[in-house]
Chain A
Amino acid sequence: MKPLSRTVGAVPPSGIRRFFDVAAQMEDCISLGVGEPDFVTPWHIREAAIWAIEKGFTTYTSNYGLFTLRQRISAHLKRRYGVEYSPEDEMLITIGVSEGLDIAMRALLNPGDEVIFFEPSYVSYPPCVMFAGGTPVPVPTDYRQGFQPDVDRLRDAITPRTKAILLCYPNNPTGTVASHEVLKEIVRLAVEHDLYLVSDEIYDRLVYDVEHTCVASLPGARERTILLGGFSKSYAMTGWRIGYACAPAQIIEMMIKVHQYTMLCAPIAAQKAAEEALEHGEAEVERMRREYDRRRRLIVERLNEIGLECLPPQGAFYVFPSIRCTGLRSEDFTEQLLWEERVAVVPGNVFGSSGEGHVRLSYATSLPRIEEALHRIERFVRKRRG
């Protein structure tokens, strides 16, 4: 047989697969390894989708997505962040941010183009860049600086081949929210070197004690930014697969080509659900955010007591503590914790080499479960520390 695709073959297999397989078989396993809300989608949203299906919303939509949904997203972004995108030709509805990221890369990259992103990072970034023929260029961030992006390191990573900077704040896996000043600096660098910015802002509504900065709202950013957002995290709608991409018309025109020939459009019932979410979902977003915030404070305090140091993350629903005190590597810690105490976490190294020495814990789990998990982790760590 002829060899399969070199491009796809070059992407390493998922780093969590083997832990997943073990944890999935285990009874009484508490998982803090889940990257989605523990809430189900608020009932009014589910109800609206049921109604839409009853009414016969079962067809294709425009390639761009429902115009009424785009109008609502446009109004929402303007109201929250002061950024203006025309629902006519500057935005498109995607199958989650995942698809948005994929088609953004395909629209931007030529073979060999480099895309810089900060590590630890979401696991899909390097593969998405590689599938589009580009070269991912990770720039590490440090625990001591709260994983804030380092502008000097970024500057050093820029080469003549650099095409874009990929950002994700609030961040998965660290929960870091990049400061307004640092983001402004990054935009300035992008302008100076004529680079595109791709900003994954899926966690924009989950910030605590700080304001979210929409990258596209910063001076000089809009014309070179692809803003990616969605409904999965803020409205607990992961399974509906609805996201959006906003960018200047000439970029959207490129993205829509890929989208229309590969996806055609996002599912209509899910788009109707997203309309309902934007129209009436605000109270539920705030209710969930407040609940996450309380869990966040509790988990940070307990982890530090246990000896797994962490700075309080300001966004998303993850903590990324250091496991230095146990003397274990991330994967060993994860494996031993799983077998001994039946608690699943995600080893930090799967998010890039600068995640080594850390694990990711998600607090998108009910408080009693979190308490029990922390109790087990404490027992585990105490044994390691002697």
Chain B
Amino acid sequence: MNQEQHKAILEILEQDARTTPEQIAAMLGLEVEQVKQAIHQLESAGIIRRYKTVIDWDRFGEERVFAFIDVKVSPAREVGFDDVAERIYRFPQVHAVYLVSGDHDLRVIVSGRTMKEIAAFVAERLAPLDRVQATYTQFVLKRYKEDGEVYAETEPDRRLVMTP
């Protein structure tokens, strides 16, 4: 199986992780066994990291607060920012950590049940870390789109039910 076919399998699974090997095989004109083997390979190579579900927690009624925290860090010889980044991302409430260009060095996305909880995390965990010089916190007020998913009412199919 070639790179193109592997990519096609990944794209299909990225859209819907529950697509079965049988369906993928039909969609791409491959044998079911080939597809199973390819998925296995992609999993063991760490290319497919895991399968998860996109959930609208708001709709479920669960309150979750998100904040973007920009962090200024003084870099250290040898490790740059990596060691500080690592100390931050090990906290389970940390959703994402990026090294970014611009005024700050790290952008951290943190989730919590309340704003207070996040404020406490910043004050007690993040700000006191060695070499963290400053933090700048922005709370998320509304999520419109995330990971390519639009969080709005899905638009209805406006087409006529039957057209020639």
A residues with CB within 8 A of B: 14, 16, 19-20, 23-24, 29, 31, 33-36, 38, 40, 122-124, 172, 294-295, 297-298, 301-302, 344, 346, 350, 367-368, 371
Complex CA distance for A367 and B29, rounded to whole angstroms? 16
Interfacial chain B residues near A24, Cβ < 8 Å: 160-162
Which among B27, B157, B160, B164 is the interface contact of A294 at CB below 8 angstroms?
B27
> A35 near B161 (CB under 8 angstroms)?
no
Interfacial chain A residues near B155, Cβ < 8 Å: 40
Nearest chain B residue, comparing its CB with the CB of A20 = B162
Nearest chain B residue, comparing its CB with the CB of A14 = B164
B residues with CB within 8 A of A: 12, 16, 19, 23, 26-29, 155, 157, 159-164
> A34 near B161 (CB under 8 angstroms)?
yes
Selected A-B contacts with CB under 8 Å, 24 pairs? A14-B164, A16-B164, A19-B162, A23-B162, A29-B161, A33-B161, A33-B163, A35-B164, A36-B163, A38-B159, A40-B155, A122-B164, A123-B164, A294-B12, A294-B27, A294-B28, A295-B27, A297-B29, A301-B26, A344-B161, A346-B164, A350-B164, A367-B19, A368-B16
**5 additional contacts (CB under 8 A) given A34-B159, A367-B16:** A16-B164, A31-B162, A35-B163, A40-B155, A297-B26
How far in angstroms is the closest Cβ of chain B from A39? 11
Closest 8 CB pairs of A and B: A294-B27, A33-B162, A301-B26, A123-B164, A35-B163, A20-B162, A31-B161, A23-B161
How far in angstroms is the closest Cβ of chain A from B4? 11
Complex CA distance for A350 and B164, rounded to whole angstroms? 9
Question: Which secondary structure characterizes the binding site on chain B?
Answer: loop
How far in angstroms is the closest Cβ of chain B from A363? 11
Complex CA distance for A350 and B19, rounded to whole angstroms? 35
| Contacts between chains A and B (CB distance < 8 A), count | 56
Interfacial chain A residues near B29, Cβ < 8 Å: 297
Interfacial chain B residues near A29, Cβ < 8 Å: 161
How far in angstroms is the closest Cβ of chain A from B164? 4
Complex CA distance for A293 and B155, rounded to whole angstroms? 24
Interfacial chain A residues near B16, Cβ < 8 Å: 367-368
Interfacial chain B residues near A14, Cβ < 8 Å: 164
Complex CA distance for A124 and B164, rounded to whole angstroms? 9
How far in angstroms is the closest Cβ of chain B from A368? 8
How far in angstroms is the closest Cβ of chain A from B154? 11
Interfacial chain B residues near A367, Cβ < 8 Å: 16, 19
Interfacial chain A residues near B12, Cβ < 8 Å: 294
Complex CA distance for A122 and B164, rounded to whole angstroms? 7
Complex CA distance for A368 and B157, rounded to whole angstroms? 14
> B26 near A298 (CB under 8 angstroms)?
yes
Nearest chain A residue, comparing its CB with the CB of B27 = A294
Interfacial chain A residues near B163, Cβ < 8 Å: 33-36
> B26 near A302 (CB under 8 angstroms)?
yes
How far in angstroms is the closest Cβ of chain B from A204? 19
How far in angstroms is the closest Cβ of chain B from A29? 7
How far in angstroms is the closest Cβ of chain B from A364? 9
> A36 near B28 (CB under 8 angstroms)?
no
Interfacial chain B residues near A294, Cβ < 8 Å: 12, 27-28
